Amino acid sequence: MRWIEAHTIRQVQRCLSANVPIVGGGSWLLSDGSVPEAVCDLREYPWAQGITGNESGWMIGPDVTLSQWLQALDSENVIAEVIRKMGTPIFRRVATVIGAVANPQPVADLYPVMRLLGADIFYIDLHHDSIQHEKLMWPFRANPRALVGLWVPASTPYRFIAFRKYTKGRLTRVLLNLGTGLAQQGDIMTADFVIGGLSQWPYEDRVAGASHSISHQISQRLRNQGNITPFYQALIMEMCDDVLNQWEHRADRRSEL
Ligand SMILES: Cc1cc2nc3c(=O)[nH]c(=O)nc-3n(C[C@H](O)[C@H](O)[C@H](O)COP(=O)(O)OP(=O)(O)OC[C@H]3O[C@@H](n4cnc5c(N)ncnc54)[C@H](O)[C@@H]3O)c2cc1C
Protein backbone atom coordinates (compact mmCIF):
# COMPACT_ATOMS: atom_id res chain seq x y z
CA MET A 1 0.00 0.00 0.00
CA ARG A 2 1.33 3.43 -0.95
CA TRP A 3 1.00 5.90 1.91
CA ILE A 4 0.78 9.42 0.46
CA GLU A 5 1.26 12.27 2.90
CA ALA A 6 -0.32 15.27 1.22
CA HIS A 7 0.91 18.74 2.12
CA THR A 8 -0.49 20.91 -0.69
CA ILE A 9 -3.85 21.44 -2.36
CA ARG A 10 -2.48 20.04 -5.64
CA GLN A 11 -1.29 16.84 -3.94
CA VAL A 12 -4.68 16.39 -2.28
CA GLN A 13 -6.47 17.05 -5.58
CA ARG A 14 -4.31 14.48 -7.35
CA CYS A 15 -5.38 11.91 -4.75
CA LEU A 16 -9.04 12.90 -5.09
CA SER A 17 -9.00 12.69 -8.88
CA ALA A 18 -7.32 9.27 -8.76
CA ASN A 19 -9.92 8.05 -6.20
CA VAL A 20 -7.24 7.45 -3.60
CA PRO A 21 -9.12 7.12 -0.29
CA ILE A 22 -8.31 9.59 2.47
CA VAL A 23 -7.23 8.03 5.71
CA GLY A 24 -7.72 9.51 9.17
CA GLY A 25 -6.92 7.20 12.08
CA GLY A 26 -7.53 4.26 9.73
CA SER A 27 -10.14 2.48 11.85
CA TRP A 28 -11.95 1.62 8.65
CA LEU A 29 -8.81 -0.18 7.38
CA LEU A 30 -8.54 -2.03 10.68
CA SER A 31 -12.18 -3.01 10.91
CA ASP A 32 -12.95 -4.20 7.38
CA GLY A 33 -9.46 -5.39 6.44
CA SER A 34 -9.34 -3.28 3.23
CA VAL A 35 -5.95 -2.94 1.61
CA PRO A 36 -6.29 -0.19 -1.00
CA GLU A 37 -3.39 0.35 -3.41
CA ALA A 38 -2.79 3.77 -1.91
CA VAL A 39 -4.18 6.02 0.80
CA CYS A 40 -3.92 9.77 1.24
CA ASP A 41 -2.98 10.83 4.77
CA LEU A 42 -3.90 14.41 5.69
CA ARG A 43 -2.78 14.28 9.29
CA GLU A 44 0.22 16.46 8.54
CA TYR A 45 -1.61 18.80 6.21
CA PRO A 46 -0.30 22.18 7.38
CA TRP A 47 -3.48 24.29 7.14
CA ALA A 48 -4.84 23.35 10.57
CA GLN A 49 -2.86 21.22 12.98
CA GLY A 50 -3.83 20.17 16.46
CA ILE A 51 -6.50 21.88 18.50
CA THR A 52 -6.63 25.63 18.58
CA GLY A 53 -9.27 27.16 20.76
CA ASN A 54 -10.27 30.64 21.77
CA GLU A 55 -13.37 32.22 23.28
CA SER A 56 -15.23 31.93 19.96
CA GLY A 57 -14.66 28.22 19.39
CA TRP A 58 -12.41 25.34 18.47
CA MET A 59 -10.49 24.62 15.26
CA ILE A 60 -9.70 20.94 14.95
CA GLY A 61 -7.05 19.72 12.51
CA PRO A 62 -7.09 16.35 10.70
CA ASP A 63 -4.43 15.01 13.07
CA VAL A 64 -6.57 15.36 16.22
CA THR A 65 -7.79 12.11 17.72
CA LEU A 66 -11.02 11.71 19.64
CA SER A 67 -9.06 11.17 22.83
CA GLN A 68 -6.96 14.33 22.36
CA TRP A 69 -10.10 16.41 21.99
CA LEU A 70 -11.69 14.67 24.95
CA GLN A 71 -8.70 15.62 27.11
CA ALA A 72 -8.89 19.24 25.99
CA LEU A 73 -12.61 19.58 26.76
CA ASP A 74 -14.27 20.35 30.04
CA SER A 75 -15.69 17.04 31.27
CA GLU A 76 -19.19 18.56 31.46
CA ASN A 77 -19.11 19.61 27.80
CA VAL A 78 -21.65 17.70 25.69
CA ILE A 79 -18.94 16.95 23.09
CA ALA A 80 -16.94 15.21 25.82
CA GLU A 81 -20.07 13.27 26.75
CA VAL A 82 -20.43 12.09 23.13
CA ILE A 83 -16.77 11.14 22.73
CA ARG A 84 -16.75 9.18 26.00
CA LYS A 85 -19.57 7.07 24.55
CA MET A 86 -17.63 6.26 21.37
CA GLY A 87 -15.92 2.86 21.22
CA THR A 88 -13.10 1.99 23.59
CA PRO A 89 -10.18 4.11 24.89
CA ILE A 90 -7.81 2.55 22.35
CA PHE A 91 -10.25 3.24 19.50
CA ARG A 92 -10.50 6.88 20.64
CA ARG A 93 -6.71 7.16 20.65
CA VAL A 94 -6.62 6.01 17.00
CA ALA A 95 -9.75 7.49 15.41
CA THR A 96 -9.67 11.15 14.42
CA VAL A 97 -12.36 13.74 14.99
CA ILE A 98 -12.35 14.63 11.31
CA GLY A 99 -12.49 10.95 10.32
CA ALA A 100 -15.64 10.68 12.41
CA VAL A 101 -17.37 13.62 10.71
CA ALA A 102 -16.05 12.79 7.22
CA ASN A 103 -17.51 9.31 7.38
CA PRO A 104 -21.24 9.59 6.68
CA GLN A 105 -22.57 6.44 8.32
CA PRO A 106 -26.30 6.11 9.02
CA VAL A 107 -25.58 6.36 12.76
CA ALA A 108 -22.50 8.39 13.61
CA ASP A 109 -22.18 9.70 17.10
CA LEU A 110 -20.42 13.02 16.61
CA TYR A 111 -22.69 14.23 13.84
CA PRO A 112 -25.89 15.17 15.76
CA VAL A 113 -24.12 17.36 18.31
CA MET A 114 -21.82 18.90 15.67
CA ARG A 115 -24.95 19.81 13.66
CA LEU A 116 -26.64 21.37 16.67
CA LEU A 117 -23.51 23.35 17.48
CA GLY A 118 -23.40 24.62 13.87
CA ALA A 119 -19.94 23.22 13.08
CA ASP A 120 -18.24 24.20 9.82
CA ILE A 121 -16.05 21.95 7.73
CA PHE A 122 -13.06 23.18 5.73
CA TYR A 123 -12.27 21.10 2.69
CA ILE A 124 -10.41 20.70 -0.57
CA ASP A 125 -12.32 19.57 -3.65
CA LEU A 126 -11.63 19.30 -7.36
CA HIS A 127 -13.40 22.53 -8.33
CA HIS A 128 -11.53 25.16 -6.33
CA ASP A 129 -7.89 26.11 -5.89
CA SER A 130 -8.40 27.25 -2.33
CA ILE A 131 -9.83 25.72 0.83
CA GLN A 132 -13.62 25.95 0.96
CA HIS A 133 -15.91 25.89 3.97
CA GLU A 134 -19.56 25.32 4.75
CA LYS A 135 -21.81 24.08 7.53
CA LEU A 136 -21.37 20.40 8.25
CA MET A 137 -24.39 18.69 6.73
CA TRP A 138 -24.84 15.22 5.31
CA PRO A 139 -25.08 14.31 2.52
CA PHE A 140 -22.12 16.39 1.42
CA ARG A 141 -22.92 18.45 -1.67
CA ALA A 142 -19.51 18.36 -3.33
CA ASN A 143 -17.95 14.98 -3.87
CA PRO A 144 -15.19 13.94 -3.59
CA ARG A 145 -13.66 16.15 -0.95
CA ALA A 146 -10.91 16.05 1.64
CA LEU A 147 -11.60 17.63 5.02
CA VAL A 148 -8.74 19.65 6.47
CA GLY A 149 -10.41 21.39 9.40
CA LEU A 150 -13.47 21.44 11.62
CA TRP A 151 -14.63 24.66 13.28
CA VAL A 152 -16.91 24.30 16.28
CA PRO A 153 -18.34 27.58 17.59
CA ALA A 154 -18.40 28.08 21.34
CA SER A 155 -21.66 29.98 21.40
CA THR A 156 -24.91 28.24 20.64
CA PRO A 157 -28.54 29.35 20.45
CA TYR A 158 -29.39 26.57 22.91
CA ARG A 159 -29.54 26.62 26.67
CA PHE A 160 -28.97 22.90 26.82
CA ILE A 161 -27.67 20.28 24.38
CA ALA A 162 -27.90 16.59 25.17
CA PHE A 163 -26.94 13.35 23.49
CA ARG A 164 -28.40 9.87 23.88
CA LYS A 165 -27.33 6.65 22.20
CA TYR A 166 -28.99 3.26 21.95
CA THR A 167 -26.78 0.27 21.27
CA LYS A 168 -26.66 -3.38 22.27
CA GLY A 169 -23.19 -3.07 23.77
CA ARG A 170 -20.16 -0.78 23.76
CA LEU A 171 -18.66 -2.26 20.63
CA THR A 172 -21.72 -3.32 18.70
CA ARG A 173 -23.22 -1.27 15.93
CA VAL A 174 -25.04 1.82 17.18
CA LEU A 175 -28.76 1.38 16.49
CA LEU A 176 -30.00 4.88 17.14
CA ASN A 177 -28.73 8.15 18.50
CA LEU A 178 -30.30 11.47 19.33
CA GLY A 179 -28.90 14.96 19.71
CA THR A 180 -31.30 17.51 21.20
CA GLY A 181 -30.87 21.27 21.53
CA LEU A 182 -33.26 23.08 23.87
CA ALA A 183 -33.86 26.82 23.89
CA GLN A 184 -36.31 28.48 26.23
CA GLN A 185 -37.80 31.95 26.48
CA GLY A 186 -40.27 32.30 29.32
CA ASP A 187 -42.53 29.29 29.00
CA ILE A 188 -41.89 28.84 25.28
CA MET A 189 -39.47 26.09 24.50
CA THR A 190 -37.86 25.18 21.19
CA ALA A 191 -36.46 21.69 20.75
CA ASP A 192 -34.27 20.88 17.76
CA PHE A 193 -33.40 17.27 17.28
CA VAL A 194 -31.11 15.24 15.04
CA ILE A 195 -31.68 11.50 15.00
CA GLY A 196 -29.30 8.99 13.44
CA GLY A 197 -30.29 5.43 12.58
CA LEU A 198 -33.79 5.84 11.16
CA SER A 199 -32.69 6.08 7.54
CA GLN A 200 -29.57 6.62 5.48
CA TRP A 201 -29.23 10.25 6.56
CA PRO A 202 -29.96 11.65 10.00
CA TYR A 203 -33.45 13.06 10.46
CA GLU A 204 -33.62 16.67 11.69
CA ASP A 205 -36.66 18.48 12.99
CA ARG A 206 -37.84 21.25 15.32
CA VAL A 207 -40.85 21.68 17.58
CA ALA A 208 -41.76 24.76 19.61
CA GLY A 209 -44.43 25.59 22.14
CA ALA A 210 -45.29 25.69 25.82
CA SER A 211 -42.66 23.70 27.69
CA HIS A 212 -45.18 21.27 29.22
CA SER A 213 -46.36 20.36 25.69
CA ILE A 214 -42.95 19.69 24.10
CA SER A 215 -42.85 15.97 24.78
CA HIS A 216 -46.33 15.55 23.33
CA GLN A 217 -45.40 17.63 20.28
CA ILE A 218 -42.31 15.58 19.56
CA SER A 219 -44.34 12.40 19.88
CA GLN A 220 -46.95 13.77 17.43
CA ARG A 221 -44.24 14.81 14.99
CA LEU A 222 -42.70 11.34 15.01
CA ARG A 223 -46.09 9.74 14.51
CA ASN A 224 -46.87 12.08 11.61
CA GLN A 225 -43.64 11.08 9.87
CA GLY A 226 -45.41 7.86 8.90
CA ASN A 227 -42.23 5.85 8.33
CA ILE A 228 -41.04 5.57 11.94
CA THR A 229 -42.14 2.30 13.50
CA PRO A 230 -43.93 2.35 16.88
CA PHE A 231 -40.89 0.63 18.39
CA TYR A 232 -38.57 3.42 17.26
CA GLN A 233 -41.11 6.09 18.26
CA ALA A 234 -41.18 4.65 21.78
CA LEU A 235 -37.39 4.47 21.94
CA ILE A 236 -36.95 8.06 20.76
CA MET A 237 -39.58 9.28 23.21
CA GLU A 238 -37.77 7.52 26.07
CA MET A 239 -34.63 9.41 25.09
CA CYS A 240 -36.44 12.74 24.63
CA ASP A 241 -38.23 12.47 27.96
CA ASP A 242 -34.95 11.61 29.64
CA VAL A 243 -33.38 14.75 28.13
CA LEU A 244 -36.36 16.94 29.11
CA ASN A 245 -36.21 15.51 32.61
CA GLN A 246 -32.49 16.24 32.86
CA TRP A 247 -33.10 19.82 31.70
CA GLU A 248 -35.96 20.21 34.15
CA HIS A 249 -33.70 19.24 37.05
CA ARG A 250 -30.59 21.17 36.10
CA ALA A 251 -29.41 23.34 38.96
CA ASP A 252 -28.65 26.34 36.73
CA ARG A 253 -32.16 26.26 35.31
CA ARG A 254 -33.81 25.87 38.71
CA SER A 255 -31.91 28.86 40.04
CA GLU A 256 -33.36 31.04 37.27
CA LEU A 257 -36.97 30.11 37.92
C1 LIG B 1 -13.82 -0.55 16.87
C2 LIG B 1 -14.65 0.58 16.31
C3 LIG B 1 -15.56 1.23 17.14
C4 LIG B 1 -16.33 2.28 16.64
N5 LIG B 1 -17.20 2.90 17.47
C6 LIG B 1 -17.91 3.95 17.02
C7 LIG B 1 -18.81 4.63 17.88
O8 LIG B 1 -18.98 4.28 19.05
N9 LIG B 1 -19.49 5.70 17.36
C10 LIG B 1 -19.32 6.11 16.07
O11 LIG B 1 -19.93 7.09 15.66
N12 LIG B 1 -18.49 5.47 15.24
C13 LIG B 1 -17.79 4.40 15.67
N14 LIG B 1 -16.95 3.75 14.82
C15 LIG B 1 -16.84 4.25 13.46
C16 LIG B 1 -15.73 5.35 13.45
O17 LIG B 1 -16.03 6.41 14.29
C18 LIG B 1 -15.62 5.98 12.17
O19 LIG B 1 -15.26 4.95 11.31
C20 LIG B 1 -14.57 7.10 12.13
O21 LIG B 1 -14.52 7.49 10.82
C22 LIG B 1 -13.23 6.69 12.59
O23 LIG B 1 -12.29 7.74 12.43
P24 LIG B 1 -10.92 7.48 11.68
O25 LIG B 1 -10.07 8.70 11.88
O26 LIG B 1 -10.30 6.19 12.09
O27 LIG B 1 -11.40 7.43 10.19
P28 LIG B 1 -10.89 6.45 9.04
O29 LIG B 1 -11.29 5.05 9.39
O30 LIG B 1 -9.47 6.69 8.72
O31 LIG B 1 -11.79 6.98 7.83
C32 LIG B 1 -13.18 6.73 7.83
C33 LIG B 1 -13.80 7.26 6.53
O34 LIG B 1 -13.68 8.68 6.51
C35 LIG B 1 -12.91 9.09 5.38
N36 LIG B 1 -12.02 10.16 5.84
C37 LIG B 1 -11.18 10.13 6.91
N38 LIG B 1 -10.55 11.31 7.04
C39 LIG B 1 -11.01 12.09 6.02
C40 LIG B 1 -10.75 13.43 5.62
N41 LIG B 1 -9.87 14.21 6.27
N42 LIG B 1 -11.40 13.91 4.54
C43 LIG B 1 -12.29 13.15 3.87
N44 LIG B 1 -12.58 11.87 4.19
C45 LIG B 1 -11.94 11.35 5.26
C46 LIG B 1 -12.13 7.86 4.94
O47 LIG B 1 -11.84 7.91 3.56
C48 LIG B 1 -13.10 6.75 5.27
O49 LIG B 1 -14.08 6.63 4.27
C50 LIG B 1 -16.19 2.68 15.28
C51 LIG B 1 -15.28 2.02 14.44
C52 LIG B 1 -14.52 0.99 14.95
C53 LIG B 1 -13.56 0.30 14.03
Q: Name the closest-CA residue to atom 44, ligand 1.
A: 102
CATH number of the structural domain spanning residue 58? 3.30.465.10
* Domain-embedded: residue 43: no
CATH of the domain at 251: 3.30.390.50
Instruction: Among 111, 127, 153, identify where a domain stops.
Output: 153
CA of 99 from ligand 1 middle (Å) equals: 5
Report the separation in Å between the CA atom of 244 and the middle of ligand 1, taken as the mean of its atom positions.
31
Same domain, yes or no, for 115 and 203? Answer: no
Whether 98 is in the pocket of ligand 1, judged by its Cβ within 6 Å, is yes
Query: Do residues 109 and 185 both lie within one domain?
Result: no
- Residue of 7, 12, 20, 27 to test ligand 1 pocket, by largest number of atoms within 8 Å of CB: 27
Domain containing 191 equals: 160-256
State the Cα torsion 137-141-146-151 to the nearest 10°.
-30
Spell out the residues 6+ positions from residue 41 whose beta carbon is closer than 8 angstroms to its own. 3, 4, 5, 6, 22, 23
Q: CB-based contacts of 102: which residues, under 8 Å, 6+ apart?
A: 22, 24, 147
22 lines ligand 1 (CB under 6 A): yes
Identify which of 86, 101, 103, 116 has the alpha carbon closest to the alpha carbon of residue 150.
101
> How many domains does one find in the chain?
2
Report yes or no on 42 lying in a domain. no
Q: Which H/E stretch holds residue 222? A: helix 214-225
Tell me how far the alpha carbon of residue 59 is from its chain's centroid: 14
In a domain, 130, yes or no: yes
Does the beta carbon of 62 lie inside 6 Å of ligand 1?
yes
On whether both 166 and 233 belong to a single domain, the answer is yes
Domain boundary, last residue among 117, 136, 153: 153
Same structural domain, 149 and 172: no
In 3-state terms, what secondary structure has residue 234? helix
Distance 111 CA to ligand 1 centre (A): 12
Q: Determine the distance separating the centroid of ligand 1 and the alpha carbon of 252, expressed in angstroms.
A: 36
Residue 42, ligand 1, Cβ within 6 A: yes
Are 142 and 208 in the same domain? Answer: no
Domain-embedded: residue 114:
yes
pLDDT by residue for the chain (257 residues), tens only, comes to 999 999 999 999 999 999 999 999 999 888 877 789 999 999 999 999 999 988 899 999 999 999 999 999 999 999 999 999 999 999 999 999 999 999 988 889 999 999 999 999 999 999 999 999 999 999 887 789 999 999 999 999 999 999 999 987 666 666 899 999 999 998 899 999 999 999 889 999 999 999 899 999 999 999 999 889 999 999 999 999 999 999 988 756 544 43
- Domain shared by 14 and 108, yes or no: yes
